[in-house]
Chain A
Amino acid sequence: MTSPTLHINQLVCGYKNPVVRAEDFRFEPGTCTGIFGDNGSGKSTFLRTLAGLQPPLSGSILLDKKGLDELSHKERARKISFLTSQSPSPHGLTGRQVAAMGRLAHTGTWARPRKTDRDHIDKALELTSTLSLAEKRMSEMSDGERKRVMLAQCLAQDSQIILLDEPFAFLDARAKNAIHRLLVDIAIEQRKTIILSTHEIGISPPLLHYCLLIDRGKLHHSDAAGVVRHFA
C-alpha cells in the first residue's frame, strides 16, 4: 500500500476574502513541515482548509489523487487529524475519555472500542506521557496537560496526515522540546505526513524537515535562516 501524498494546487484559502494563496506544494510521508508567519497571516486558515473544515475559495487539495471534498466525514477523519489551537475544557470527562474520541471515526454507531482501538489509545497516552492523566478530569488539569491530552486524541486517530495548529502553546520549554521531537520521530518512524504551525522560531526550524513561510498572503518555501530573517 502506498501512503497518500497531500498535494495542493493553486489553492486560495479564506472566508470571504482570500487570506492565503498556495501554488503547488506536495507533502510526503515521513516528513514534518512547519508553517511560519506573523499573527493573523492565515496559518490557522490554511491548516483548517487542509483539514477539510473550511472549503477553499478555489484550487484543489488532493489526497493521493483523490479530492478532499469527495470524502465522507468519517473517511476524512481516518486520513486527516487536526489539533485545533483552542483549548477546550469538557470538565466532566477524563483524559482517557477525551483521548478515546480519536477512535470515533473508526468505530460503529455505539462507539464500542475493539482491541486495536484500545491499543491505539494506550499508545497515544504513553507517547504523550499522559497515562498518569488518564483517570484525571479535564477540569483538574493545567493548560499544558490538557494540550497533551488533546495531542493524544490526535495521535489515537492514527491518520496518515496529522495537522497541528500551535501544538506547543501552553507547554513549558522541556515539554516543547519533548513533544517536538516526538512529532518528528512519529513522522519518520511511522511514515506520517505532519504539518504544524508555530511561533517557536528558536527550537522548531532545526528539527523540521521543511519550513514554509506565509508572507504577504502567499505561502513560500523557506528554511531556518529564512524564517529567522523574516521575524528579525
Chain B
Amino acid sequence: MQRLSKKTLLMVSIVVIGLMCFAGLLVGTGSIGFGQVWKALWDGSDATVTFIVRESRWPRTMVAGLAGAGLAMAGLMMQTFFKNELAGPSVLGVSSGASMGVALVMLAGAGSSWVAGQWAVVSGAVAGAMAVLWLVLAVSRIFQEQGSLLIFGLMLSFVLGALVSVMQAGAEAWRIKSFVQWGMGSFDVRTGHETWWVGGALVVAALIALSTLKWYNAFLLGNENARSLGAPLDRVRGSMLLSAGLLTGVITAFCGPVAFIGLAVPHLARGFFRTSDHEVIFPSVLLIGAAIGMFCDLIVRAEFFGMQLPLNAVTSLVGAPIIIWVIVRNAKMKSLL
C-alpha cells in the first residue's frame, strides 16, 4: 500500500513536471497560441515564433527546472548536514556568500568581456558559497545549540549584505543597476549557456552526493553512531558540503540569490512521503524542486499587474507559507528529521 502510493506520487510529479514544461513554452510576453507553439516545436516554418519558443522559452523553462531541483537538493544536503530543519542556502548565509562573491566581480569590476565575466561571476559565487559553508561548519563545532547556529548564519547574512551595500555605494551607476537586477533573481537567460552550466552543476553535485548517499540516513542518528556503522565521516560530510556549495554558487551566479526554494522543498518532500529516508527523499526533492522552480517562473511570466514580478518575491510568497506550515505542524507533532 505504502509502496503503491510512493509510486503514484512519483508518477504524479513526473506528469506535473511535463505539464510545467509545456506551460513554460506557452506562457510569456506576446500571445502565441497552442497550435503555433506545437508547430514551432516540430517544424520551424514561422521563424519568429520558433525563435521565441526554442531559443527563449525553452532554455528559460529548463533553467527554472534545473535551478529549482539544484536549490532544493542544496537545501536537503544542508538540512541533513546540520540536522536542522531550518537550514538552507538562503538561511545560513550561503546565498549571501555567493552574492558577496558576485558583488566583488560585478561591482568592483573584473573581466570586461562577457565570457571572462561569466567565468569570474561563477567562480566568485562558488568561492563565496564555499567560504560561508566552511565558516558555518567551523562555528557549528562551537555551538551546541542549533538555534545559535541559525542566528549566526542570519547575522552573517546581514554582515555580508551590509558589505555588499557599501560596495554598491561606491560603484558606478550602470554596475549598480545590473547588480540590483541580478539580486531580484530571474530564470530569464540570454543564451543557451546557462542551461549547460546549471545542468552540469546539478549532474556533478548529484554524482558527488550519490557516492555517499547510503550513509545519509545513518548521519541522522548522529556522527558517533554513523562512524560506528562504518561511515567514512569526513568523506560524507565533505560530499554534502561540496555539492551544496557548488549548486548554490553556480545557480546564484546565473539566477541571483533565489530565496526559499532550498529551504521549503525538502519539507514538502518529507511531508508528501511521510519519511526522512534519503532513498525516497533525495529523488523526490529533485522532482518537486524542478516543479516548484518552473511553477514560480510561470507566475513571474504570467505578468500580474502588467509586469514580470521579481522571482525572489514570487519564491518568497510561495515558500514562506510552506515554512510557516512546517512550524505550525511541528508545534502539533514531532518533526520528521
A contact set with B: CB distance below 8 Å: 48, 51, 53, 73-74, 76-78, 80-82, 84, 86, 88, 90-94, 97-98, 101-102, 104-105, 107, 109-111, 139, 150, 153, 157
Contact = CB atoms under 8 A, between A and B. Distances in A.
**A-B pairs with the 9 shortest C-beta distances?**
A77-B230, A92-B276, A92-B336, A105-B230, A90-B220, A111-B214, A82-B228, A139-B334, A88-B221
A116 to B, nearest CB: 17
13 contacts: A73-B231, A77-B229, A82-B228, A84-B228, A88-B221, A90-B220, A91-B276, A93-B217, A93-B220, A101-B229, A104-B230, A105-B229, A107-B214
A53 B224 contact: yes
Contacts of B228: 51, 53, 77, 80-82, 84
B112 to A, nearest CB: 46
B222 interface: yes
Interface string B189-226: 00000000000000000000001001101101110110
Interface in B139-196: none
Contacts of B215: 104
A115 B279 CA distance: 19
Contacts of A94: 275
Given A73-B232, A91-B335, 20 more contacts: A48-B224, A73-B227, A74-B230, A77-B228, A77-B230, A80-B228, A84-B222, A90-B221, A91-B334, A91-B337, A92-B275, A93-B217, A93-B220, A93-B276, A93-B277, A101-B229, A104-B230, A105-B230, A111-B214, A111-B279
Contacts of A78: 230
Interface of B: 211, 214-215, 217-218, 220-222, 224-225, 227-233, 270, 274-277, 279, 333-337
Contacts of B334: 91, 139
B230 A76 contact: yes
B337 A92 contact: yes
A94 B335 CA distance: 14
Contacts of B230: 73-74, 76-78, 104-105
A104 B214 contact: yes
A92 B333 CA distance: 12
A55 B230 CA distance: 16
Nearest to B227: A53
Contacts of B233: 73
A93 B275 contact: yes
